Amino acid sequence: MLPDSIDLISDEQKRLYISTLIIICGADGELVREEMAALESAMGQALIHPEGRADLRQSLVNIPKLNPILDRLEVTTARLALRDGFIIAACDGDYADEEISILQKIKEKAKLSDEVFQQLMEWVQEGWFWHSKGRTIIDANLLGDDKTHIDDN
Amino acid sequence: MLPDTIHKLPQAERFAYAKILAYMSRVDNELSVEEMAMFEQRLGTALLSPGQRKEIRLALKSPPSLEESLQALSPEGGRLAFRDSILMCAADGTVDSDELEALKRFASLLELKDNAMDRMLKWVSEGYAWMESGFELLNDL
């Protein structure tokens, strides 16, 4: 959502980062519009070339295998993919078991603890509240936004 | 990346929304990498077609006026464009005086409450703090 360090990693690692997010998107067998918007947002934030984005979109049809991607992920990229993987997994409203399983594997590659794993889940929820607060200020609420935070009007 | 309402707007409105971001990106005659990344991120969230994105990128050189683009937006679409204009102007760490003036004019065109700008700037600053806490969780990135 906000300025990020994703632009500090190499082009190859950016593609692997997006491929990891695509695997999470495809984990529960359906791709909702919110996930697609989040994925396009991530590709935009990473400033991936339009042709590169077109190639990556193709892999939504034929989801890549996780392990070969993980093998090539650097620790820094794995950490960013884990953080943003939590966001993208939460897009359809809940974490599916398949998504959690993938996130656990990314956590291992990222060399992060179970405690951080749990904290990232809470961090996403905080971000959700923050974003909903912005919508409330401009009166553009999503269903349920009014219940997610106490407005400091 | 967080779920939003932009992609629920009609396509014509999303296109106008993107033109407003293009306009705002040119206000201070500088386009930093951070602003460009934010601009591309918001185009992605809006789920514009690749053709529309190409057109919008071309519009970066000479974007239509704020007033012209606003005509194609609903009140809610206009307010979302206002919110994301603030996000984009703040993407390089500061909102300079030219950007602030343009945002004030934008708020005035939308007939927002007097304190809307201050509340949104505070909200952006809270978002930075949230992102920072995410980095801290991931350690020394």
Q: Do A134 and B3 touch (CB under 8 A)?
A: no
Query: pTM for the full model?
Result: 0.90
Q: What is the predicted pLDDT for the residue at A3?
A: 57
| Residue in the structure block whose two tokens are 């396509």 | B11
Query: CA-CA distance, A71 to A78, in Å (whole number)?
Result: 10
- Mean pLDDT across B88-96: 88
Between B8 and B83, the higher pLDDT residue: B83
Q: What is the predicted ipTM?
A: 0.89
CB-based burial of residue A74 (10 Å sphere; 0-12 exposed, 13-18 middle, 19+ buried)?
middle
CATH architecture observed for domain B6-137:
Orthogonal Bundle (1.10)
B1 neighbors A6 (Cβ within 8 angstroms): no
State percent of chain B over pLDDT 70: 99
* Lookup result for tokens 């990135």: B141
A-facing residues of B in 35-54 (CB < 8 A) are: 36-47, 50, 53-54
The Cα A146–Cα A141 span in angstroms is: 7
Q: Work out the angle at residue A24's Cα, subtended by the Cα atoms of residues A18 and A27, and round it to the nearest 5 degrees.
A: 145
Q: What is the pLDDT of residue A28?
A: 83
Q: Is B139 left (phi over 0), alpha (psi -120 to 50) or beta?
A: left
Task: List the one residue out of A37, A64, A22, A135 whose CA is nearest residue B77.
Answer: A135
Question: Residue B54 and residue A80: Cβ atoms within 8 Å?
Answer: no
More confident residue, B134 or A30: B134
pLDDT of A150 reads 45
Q: What is the pLDDT of residues B48-65, one digit of tens each?
A: 988 898 899 888 888 899
Domain positions in chain A are 6-112
Q: Verify whether the Cβ–Cβ distance B38 to A45 is below 8 Å.
A: yes
- What pLDDT is recorded for position A151? 46
The answer to whether the CB of A109 falls within 8 A of the CB of A78 is: yes
Q: Taking all residues of chain A, what is their mean pLDDT, rounded to a whole number? A: 89
* Separation between Cα atoms, residue B125 and residue B141, nearest integer Å: 20
Query: What's the CA gap between B107 and B122, in Å, rounded?
Result: 15
Q: Which of A41, A55, A123 to probe the B interface (max B CBs under 10 A)?
A: A41
- Whether chain B has a CB inside 8 Å of the CB on A88: the answer is yes
Domain A6-112 CATH assignment equals 1.10.3680.10: yes
Q: Using one digit for the tens of pLDDT, what is the confidence trace for A38-86? A: 999 999 999 999 999 999 999 999 999 999 999 999 999 999 999 999 9
DSSP labels, A91-151: TTSS--HHHHHHHHHHHHHHT--HHHHHHHHHHHHHHHHHHHHHHHHTT-PPTTHHHH---
**Which residues of chain B make contact with A126, given a CB cutoff of 8 A?**
130, 133
What distance in Å separates residue A43's CA from the closest CA in chain B? 7
**CA dist., res. B141 & res. B137, Å (int):** 10
Instruction: Report the C-alpha gap between B67 and A142 in whole angstroms.
Output: 27
DSSP reduced 3-state for B123: helix
Whether the predicted pLDDT of B15 surpasses 90 = yes
Q: Under DSSP, is residue B136 helix (H, G, I), strand (E, B) or coil?
A: helix
Structure tokens at A60: 């939504």
User: Rounded CA gap, A72 and A75, in Å?
Assistant: 10
